[in-house]
Amino acid sequence: RKEVEQDPGPFNVPEGATVAFNCTYSNSASQSFFWYRQDCRKEPKLLMSVYSSGNEDGRFTAQLNRASQYISLLIRDSKLSDSATYLCVVGTGGFKTIFGAGTRLFVKA
């Protein structure tokens, strides 16, 4: 079992749709959680950190469920510019982080 597993992609959605990504992690001692976005042929960029209480940034909402060991990312009112690969990242302590394989999202006009 991979340490961090994500929904298989790609997701193809129309503009304006709501789309959700899930990610599970195997290490119950994991301490920090993030979603990164990676555009084609670009470096990953931090989208948002994920806190136990959940957090929202505009159209993006991230949630953490420690009991079930998964995190989620919800994107509302999808834009064409949201098309990218979304990486789930889990920190296991001491700056060590594990990246998921990523989920590709295509938003169509």
Residue type at position 8: P
**Listed ranges 17-25, 52-60, 69-77, 97-105: which one lies at the site for another protein (CB under 8 A):** 97-105
**Listed ranges 19-27, 29-37, 53-61, 62-70: which one lies at the site for another protein (CB under 8 A):** 29-37
- Contact call for residue 99 and another protein (CB under 8 A): yes
**Contact by Cβ (8 Å): 91, 32:** yes
**Spatial separation of the C-alpha atoms in residues 47 and 28, rounded to whole Å:** 23
- Contact call for residue 27 and another protein (CB under 8 A): no
- Cα–Cα–Cα angle for 70, 83, 7, rounded to 5 degrees: 25
Q: Which is nearer to another protein, 48 or 107 (CB)?
A: 48
